[in-house]
Chains A and B, each alone.
Chain A
């Protein structure tokens, strides 16, 4: 990683470490709280993922924002997911979120 990004990395890492282990962090929240632009935040979260401080996931949420399933890439996301109560949810763009899962 470019050394000039060290300061931004510290700010992003600080936000990530304030989150509970196992939490799903929205990169936009990290960007807002760290004051680092969104593009850089994604790049830095990838760096943290390589350091096993968490991992990037695509998760599918229901209409209330509750997580139903998570996937590694967009082609893996199915047309329909079923939640733990048996409700079938058609996956629209608004149901798919990129999150950073903080390591436990």
Chain B
């Protein structure tokens, strides 16, 4: 009973969209027109009828917080150094996903858990930031506490590392600037992994994506010798514009753009890779991918996997 209560509380932290797509990616009826409370009940019912395992749901509860609307910075690290990382040094190490928990609004920054196996490392941190909140009726300005979840994900064999952030609040524990928040976790993760993190080169990936049909490109910014070129589509894709083809030869590097990932393509289990369009903003200069919708783990992994494959 306690486990069911905990699971209910965990599922309440996910958005309705996340819950519905979690079910759809598991090829289960999701009740797309249902309210959030009904979908939570549906998930709990699937556990009782054996259509979902408790392990799957417990992992999803954690991943809803770890993959929602994140700014994901991509890095490469030395695989030899990553192979030397000893999992036994982590105080909060877990062996099964049922043990993974995230404290949503801790008093001070904390490491929630570390999952380490032969090929993979995932460490999750959380902390509490404050945003100004204006109460017009009372003519008062207060502060709203918001929990932030930061996730380090490491593929030990390839050296591909991602560091995912919730956007910072006005007040955070690592300094006075948003830059200090990002720099703190990058430095901390370099310390944990014992190696420097180098920005993952994204320019070739953007060229590759532009040449293919996995995405539609709503807006693109490129640099020339004389300055920047920004192209915004009035239709669905800038590549259909004559102006885009005209300026393309003079663009030396792609800076950033809005890449909308298209649904389709069969995955290993017979379900499509993506069940809906996934809008992202990709910044090549800082090797960052921003997810702008209540994304779920399957969608984030697909996008990052394709970027890695095109680089």
Query: What are 22 contact pairs spanning A and B, CB under 8 A?
Result: A15-B225, A19-B226, A20-B226, A26-B223, A28-B203, A28-B223, A28-B285, A29-B223, A29-B224, A33-B225, A74-B179, A77-B177, A77-B179, A78-B177, A90-B178, A91-B177, A91-B178, A91-B179, A92-B179, A93-B182, A94-B256, A94-B283
Beyond A28-B223, A65-B228, A94-B285, 5 additional pairs, beta carbon < 8 A: A29-B253, A64-B230, A91-B178, A93-B182, A94-B283
Q: Which residues of A contact B179 (CB under 8 A)?
A: 74, 77, 79, 91-93, 96
Secondary structure dominating the interface of B: mixed
Interface residues of A in 50-97 (CB under 8 A from B): 64-65, 74, 77-79, 90-94, 96-97
The answer to the question of B288 belonging to the interface, with a C-beta cut-off of 8 Å to chain A, is: yes
Total chain A interface residues with beta-carbon distance under 8 A: 24
Known contacts A19-B225, A20-B226, A33-B225; A65 and B255 CB within 8 A of each other:
yes
Interface string of B209-237 (1 = CB under 8 A from A): 00000000000010111111010000000
- Cβ B230 vs Cβ A23 within 8 A: no
Asked if A7 is an interface residue, CB under 8 A from chain B, the answer is no
What residues of chain A lie closer than 8 Å to B221, measured between beta carbons? 65
User: In the complex, how many angstroms separate the beta carbon of B282 from the nearest chain A beta carbon?
Assistant: 11
B176 at the interface (CB under 8 A from A): yes
The answer to whether the Cβ of B37 comes within 8 Å of any Cβ in the partner chain is no
User: How many residue pairs between the two chains, A and B, have CB atoms under 8 Å in the bound complex?
Assistant: 57
Chain A CB within 8 A of B252 CB: yes
- In the complex, how many residues of chain B place their beta carbon closer than 8 angstroms to a beta carbon of chain A? 23
A78 CB to nearest chain B CB (Å): 7
Q: Does B286 contact A (CB under 8 A)?
A: yes
**B286 and A94 contacting across the interface, CB-CB below 8 Å:** yes
Q: Contact residues of A with B, CB < 8 Å?
A: 15, 18-20, 23, 25-26, 28-29, 32-33, 64-65, 74, 77-79, 90-94, 96-97
Distance in angstroms between the alpha carbons of A33 and B249 in the assembled complex: 12
A19 to chain B minimum Cβ distance, whole angstroms, is 6
- CB closest residue in chain A, given B227: A23
